Amino acid sequence: MAIVVNIYVEDSKQYGGSFETMEEAEQWASNHSINKSEIEHRVEYIEEHLDDREAKFEALRAKRKWILDATDWLFVSDFRVSTKFRKIYMEYRQYLRDLPKIIGKEGVIKLEEFYHYLRRKYPEEFMDGGDSDIILKHFYSKI
């Protein structure tokens, strides 16, 4: 849920920001409040419209399906890949399948790209001697 904070002041200037949580919005508003004795101000919170959220969720589902379909070939029996690589690909695909549950808990509609997932879960693959280039090349070759 995005929260928009708009602060209106007497001179018709408008100040505002967009935040993920109400706490962030309230903190920002308190940090930027104007001395009430000098200028009256009003803060309003606008929650992201439900239709926008559903549209984002639908786009995420479509992207997720597309990635799963595009990476099916990695599991064809005649594609030779190490057990380690296959395990990494399977874990990411499971992450994609679990996304609706993750979104339900966190409330943020966001898909972690494979590159970032690999870097977060397997940082050693990006160090000297790591296989990140090969892992990424296979994964992204059909996407």
Residue ranges per structural domain of the chain: 3-48, 51-140
Query: Angle formed by the axes of helices 114-121 and 83-106, to 10°?
Result: 100
> Tokens for 35?
């001395």
Task: Give the full edge-to-edge strand order of the sheet including 3-9.
Answer: 14-19, 3-9, 41-47
pLDDT band at 33 (very low <50, low <70, confident <90, very high): low
Distance in angstroms between the alpha carbons of the first and the last residue of the chain: 30
pLDDT of 48 > 90? The answer is no
- What is the rounded average pLDDT of the residues 117-137? 92
Q: What is the pLDDT of residue 34?
A: 45
Strand partners, 16: 6
**Alpha helices of the chain — where are they, by DSSP H?**
22-31, 50-70, 83-106, 114-121, 132-140
Instruction: Name which residue leads in pLDDT, 114 or 22.
Output: 114
Looking at the DSSP bridge assignments, the partners of residue 19 are 3
- Residue 38 banded pLDDT, cuts 50, 70, 90: very low
Query: Is the whole-model pTM more than 0.75?
Result: no
Q: Tokens for 9, please give them.
A: 């002041």
What confidence score (pLDDT) does residue 36 get? Answer: 41
Measured in residues, the chain has a length of 143
Question: Does residue 122 register a pLDDT over 90?
Answer: yes
Q: For tokens 């090969």, what's the residue?
A: 134
Residue 96 has pLDDT above 70, yes or no: yes
Q: Does domain 3-48 have CATH number 3.30.1490?
A: yes
Question: What pLDDT score was predicted for residue 61?
Answer: 86
- What's the mean pLDDT in 42-53? 56
